[in-house]
Amino acid sequence: MKKFKQHMMMASAATFVGLVSGVETASAGNNFTNIVTNMETSIQTIPGLISGVSYMAGILLGVLGVLKIKDHVENPGQTPLQHGAIRLAAGGALFALPIMYEAMQNTIGSSSNLVTAPQVKAMQLQVVP
């Protein structure tokens, strides 16, 4: 038990040193402009992720809706038709979400020049008497 505690203490110390040195290295060259630029670059892939998740969830809900309707046909007293219809409608809505997003983007405009990272060199505080 004593060796286990010793190994845990060494592992936690190594983790702490690694985290502290990583934070110092990561924050060495960052300023507000770099942070906003990195955020803007990272956010550009989110619509693709939402589309993929939406398609998969839409297909899943569609299949579950068909299975619930099958259950209703086999035993109408046990499973209401409403459960299957709701799943089918939700699956269809999720499946259509990327298409609606693309239509909205084409209507509003997809120019990436609309939003740019602000250039901030330094902040100065003024003391008002």
Half-sphere exposure of 90 (CA within 13 A, CB side): 14
Tell me what pLDDT residue 49 has. Answer: 85
Phi-psi region of 109 (alpha: psi -120 to 50; beta: other; left: phi over 0): left
- pLDDT-derived band at 117, boundaries 50, 70, 90: low
- The least confident of 1-5, 27-31, 37-41, 107-111 is 27-31
Q: Is the pLDDT of residue 124 over 90?
A: no
Q: Is the pLDDT of residue 29 over 70?
A: no
How far is CA 63 from each of CA 49, 91, 107, rounded to the nearest angstrom? 21, 9, 32
Q: Which pTM value belongs to this model? A: 0.55
Q: Domain spans of the chain?
A: 44-109
C-alpha span between 94 and 61 (Å, rounded): 9
Count Cβ atoms below 10 Å from residue 76 Cβ, excluding itself: 10
The mean pLDDT value for 16-31 works out to 59
